[in-house]
Chain A
Amino acid sequence: MGSARLYAAVAAGGFRRYATYRVATAAGVFTNTVFGLILVSAYLALWDERPHLGGYGQAQAVTYVWLGQALFATLAIQGGGFETELMERIRTGEVAVDLYRPADLQLWWLASDVGRASFQLLGRGVVPFAFGALFFPTALPDDPALWAALLVAIVLAMVVSYGIRFLVALSGFWLLDGTGALQVLMVTGMFFSGMALPLNAFPQPLGDLVMLLPWSALLQMPADVLMGRVDPWSAFAFQAGWAVVLLAVGRWAQGAATRRVVVQGG
């Protein structure tokens, strides 16, 4: 019970920390809206040429774009969450102090990242999405149950995203310099999560393959849940499955890494 309160406090801290940067948040909203506008135009041209590409109509393609812009910062799809900070702590050796604390490394950063993601969803996600829904023809459901399901799918996506980035951060124990790993995170995040193009619009058999990877839990699943294109429970099961696998691998890597830590003498 006491530890639950600790992690709740860490999450609240993560939320408050990002809430401090008001101008940066407004700037982010502006950027996501601009990119949304560009992508919507490109997608509309694409769907003009190939109506019902990937089973989406034009309105659904537009909805997909704005949901993507809303979740881009929330899920740190190209990085930009806690992972750079943790990597820096690993590089400098400060992580040794963290490991002595009476809190679990993985859970601590998970709580802090969920706090960050929750703020980004409210602060950076809602406005571009509302803008898109207001000025473009979107395919939004009336059924409140689907909106509730979307929320669950987003929370699960947060955990999957964390699971991926925790592994990337821990790679710092072996690689020391994180530049390469962060670059890989950027590439895979942008491509396999469907930020560039919805995964169901990928050519086959590539399309089937990318749907099985964990990144499809980030944007594709919430989008399909919102638009009623997938049974919410099977989407949740897919996301939760990857969350458990990623967290378990992260736990194992954490154990292997801590046995490697050598504290440098001064």
Chain B
Amino acid sequence: MWIRSTLAYRVSFALTVVGGLLVTGLDFVAILLMFSQVDVLGGYALPEVAFLYGLSATAFGVADLAIGSAGRLGVRVRDGTLDTLLVRPAPVLAQVAADRFALRRVARITQGVLVLGWACAVLDVGWTPVKVLLVPVMIVSGGMIFSAVFVAGAAFQFVAQDAAEVQAAFTYGGQTLLQYPPTVFGRELVRGVTFVLPLAFVNWVPASYVLGRPYPLGLPQWAAFTPPLVAVACCAVAGLAWRAGLRTYRSTGS
């Protein structure tokens, strides 16, 4: 329904996609500006940073397209319109995901894929079948990990109501973090996004294998192949959080 309503205004849709490309593309322009002044950042050259950026942006774009609408949950909790979803005979989470499903978010994925494609083309890497296969695996698992963060954030909004920005800190903040090489950040921060909120498995850890870089925190080599497992675990935890959040829901009014 939301797809059809968006496509009803074709010119407007095209404009918002182009605009979206510009908005999300600017993140990468900022990185390009940095590299106009230096040759390496945290020991990583531009194609390597572009590889990290493309992976994180694409995975985030997939999650944003699938479940990004969950950011609006706080509004529904506050004004009581969540009740409408509760009485319908469909899973609430699926309805929240489909709520105002914004097809224009394909802009983010497009932009990420473009940067990723460019990075893969110019990277000086000995591509093996395993490395090639790992790229789509990273995007899918990364998308699942980011989706889990979106859902957990939505669950938190049942409790906090108007704290949508806390969720933004972890979703948009996480994506921004992963655009830069892990060597840029302090050890505690890297440890936190590896073991507590496992964002490092979106790109840092598996990309280290592809790029032949030392692993963050000296993780063993097989860690590069764990993102699917991490993704499934994240989704399970997020699912539990979602159910717990939904149980605490009290409608507005008396």
Contacts and interface: CB of A to CB of B under 8 A. Distances in A.
A28 interface: yes
Contacts of A34: 169-170, 173
Interface string B12-51: 1001100110110011011001101111111000000000
Interface in A114-162: none
Nearest to B184: A45
A203 B33 CA distance: 7
Interface in B210-244: none
Interface stretch (B59-67, B143-151, B156-164, B245-253): B156-164
Contacts of A201: 33, 37
A153 B47 CA distance: 40
A203 B36 CA distance: 7
Given A28-B165, A35-B176, A41-B189, A183 B16 contact: yes
A30 B166 contact: yes
Contacts of A53: 37
Given A28-B165, A186-B23, A202-B33, A46 B185 contact: no
A41 B192 CA distance: 15
A35 B169 contact: yes
B166 A184 contact: no
A88 to B, nearest CB: 15
Which range contains the number of B residues in contact with the other chain?
35 or more
Contacts of B34: 42, 46, 197
Contacts of B168: 31
A45 B180 contact: yes
A208 interface: no
Contacts of A28: 165
B48 to A, nearest CB: 13
Given A31-B169, A197-B33, A183 B20 contact: yes
Contacts of B189: 37, 41
Interface stretch (A18-26, A99-107, A241-249): A18-26
A41 B182 CA distance: 10
B177 interface: yes
Interface in A7-35: 21, 23-24, 26-28, 30-31, 34-35
A229 interface: no
A196 interface: yes
A177 interface: yes
A42 B184 contact: yes
A187 interface: yes
A237 interface: no
B165 A49 contact: no
Nearest to B20: A183
Contact of A24 (B33, B162, B176, B180): B162
Given A27-B162, A38-B176, A41-B184, A187 B22 contact: yes
A179 interface: yes
A45 B165 contact: no
A89 B29 CA distance: 35
Contact of A190 (B26, B36, B184): B26
B126 interface: no
B221 to A, nearest CB: 26
Contact of B186 (A41, A46, A202): A41
Contacts of A2: none
Given A23-B163, A179-B12, A196-B33, A46 B38 contact: yes
Interface in A188-216: 190-191, 196-197, 201-203
Nearest to B176: A38
Contacts of B162: 21, 23-24, 27
A183 B37 CA distance: 28
A180 B166 contact: no
A35 B174 CA distance: 9
Contacts of B22: 183, 187
B38 A49 contact: yes
B180 A26 contact: no
A111 B155 CA distance: 37
Contact of A41 (B12, B39, B185): B185
Interface in A43-97: 44-46, 49-50, 53
Contact of B41 (A45, A179, A203): A45
19 contacts: A24-B162, A27-B165, A30-B165, A30-B166, A31-B169, A35-B173, A35-B176, A41-B189, A45-B180, A45-B183, A177-B12, A179-B12, A183-B19, A183-B22, A184-B19, A191-B26, A196-B27, A196-B30, A203-B36
Interface of B: 12, 15-16, 19-20, 22-23, 26-27, 29-30, 33-34, 36-42, 160-166, 168-170, 173, 176-177, 180, 183-186, 189
Which 6 pairs between the two chains have the least Cβ-Cβ distance? A196-B30, A27-B165, A27-B163, A183-B19, A31-B169, A49-B38
